[in-house]
Amino acid sequence: MIKSDTLENTKDFRISVAPMMDWTTRDYRFFARLFNPNIVLYTEMVTTGAIIHGDAKRHMDFSSQEHPLVLQLGGSNPQDLAICTKMAEDWGYDEVNLNVGCPSDRVQNNKIGACLMAEPNLVAECIDQMQKAVTIPVTVKHRIGIDEMQSYEEMLHFVDTVAATGCTHFVVHARIAILQGLSPKENREVPPLRYEDVYRLKHERPNLTIEMNGGIKTFEETQQHLQHVDGVMIGREAYHNPYLLAEFGHFWNLDMPDRFNIIQQMMPYIEKRLAEGAPLSIITRHILGLFQNLPGARKWRQALSGGNAKSIRDIEIALVNIRETIQRSEDQQQEQHI
């Protein structure tokens, strides 16, 4: 089902970084790509209204380095979704994904996201129209259930109804969403993970491509899931600890990139974005996790967060500092071994 050239690099399994509002911006995606050429990146969710009635260019522009890249759409009007899917294809996206997993109130009021799990026929109609508009793949990201619809059988009915349109790729966040009473953040933490439901879905529908999402933090966990499903999608950990994306390079026998090299490659990009008028802080906030788990990581974060870095020079100073801290710590460790 994977059609585009760039998605072919992902072999017969795939690892992706989840769509995350305000987090997986084009600046984060450019940065994330430097860790691994093969992982699939998603945009933040963009509503059909924002594209059709708003500034489409602002929402849809990306750098060519970001491929393979998926646009995630939010909406429930089949015609609007078809228009936006066609625009995504023309814009150069490799794939389009429909959000049926996001539980926020704002999103529910417009009939977007997880509340659509209660309307499998409407989702099927949306996916049908989207697929008819393009040749790139159209996929769905959904939960294992919502509110009163929590059983495996109900999720299977949802998937079967949508799959009847010819859609074959489902990304499943292995938690239900409670639409009344829990905040979006709580909905990513409180309902228990039910990975078995997703394994069972793949087992019972072997012809579908099933991707696991929710609570996955390590290479080892990812390897485990890939014994049962076709792909793994990582959200928060990929953002807070982006070097994890480099560790996934083991799947393709890639060399581990050097963090300082990554930031050097980021510098010309930052300069270009500044020249376009982007404020430095909207870029630096996505690179705070670069040295996660290393000595000096907290100082690096402090130096770059909250508008503390006013210029490229401030980033360079923070780099010199963390390089020294890491070197000192390595020297101390060596002395202890002598």
Show contacts with ligand FMN in window 22-51 (CB under 6 A).
23, 44-45
To ligand FMN, the closest distance from the beta carbon of 326 in angstroms equals: 28
Identify residues 141-200 at the interface with ligand FMN (CB under 6 A): 141, 173, 188
Of the residues 84, 102, 115, 126, only one is catalytic, namely 102
Asked if 236 interacts with ligand FMN (CB under 6 A), we say yes
Q: Is position 84 annotated as part of the catalytic site?
A: no
Neighbours of 104 (CB within 10 A): 18
User: In the bound complex, what is the minimum distance in angstroms from residue 283's beta carbon to ligand FMN?
Assistant: 17
Q: Does 285 participate in binding ligand FMN (rule CB under 6 A)?
A: no
Q: Is 102 in the site for ligand FMN (CB under 6 A)?
A: yes
Choose the binding region for ligand FMN from 146-154, 158-166, 230-238, 307-315 (rule: CB under 6 A): 230-238
Rounded to a whole number of angstroms, the minimum distance from the CB of residue 270 to ligand FMN is: 22
Closest CB to ligand FMN among residues 115, 319: 115
In sequence order, what are the residues at sequence separation of 6 or more whose Cβ sits closer than 8 angstroms to the Cβ of residue 233? 15, 16, 17, 18, 141, 171, 211, 212, 213, 216
Contact flag: residue 17 with ligand FMN (CB under 6 A):
no
Binding residue (CB under 6 A) for ligand FMN from 2, 7, 15, 20 = 20
Q: Which stretch binds ligand FMN (CB under 6 A): 3-11, 207-215, 254-262, 287-295?
A: 207-215
> Binding to ligand FMN by residue 225, rule CB under 6 A?
no
Q: How many residues bind ligand FMN (CB under 6 A)?
A: 22
In the complex with ligand FMN, the residue whose CB is nearer, 50 or 270, is 50
Q: How far apart are CA 96 and CA 72, in angstroms?
A: 6
| Three-state secondary structure call for residue 234 | strand
Which of 283, 254, 257, 289 is closest to 15 using CA atoms?
A: 254
Regarding beta strands 231-234 and 138-146, do their DSSP bridges make them parallel or antiparallel, or are they unpaired?
unpaired
Question: 143 and 114 in contact (C-beta within 8 Å)?
Answer: yes
Of 238-277, which residues contact ligand FMN (CB under 6 A)? none
Are 85 and 73 a contacting pair, CB within 8 Å? yes
Partner residues linked to 328 by β-bridges: none
For residue 75, state whether it binds ligand FMN (rule: CB under 6 A): no
228 lies in the binding site for ligand FMN (CB under 6 A): no
DSSP symbols for 143-192: EEEETTB-SHHHHHHHHHHHHTTT--EEEEEEEEE-TTT--TTGGGTSSP
- Angle (CA) 62-23-27 rounded to 5° is 35
- Interface residues toward ligand FMN, by CB under 6 A: 18-21, 23, 44-45, 72, 99, 101-102, 141, 173, 188, 213-216, 234-237
As annotated, the active-site residues are: 102
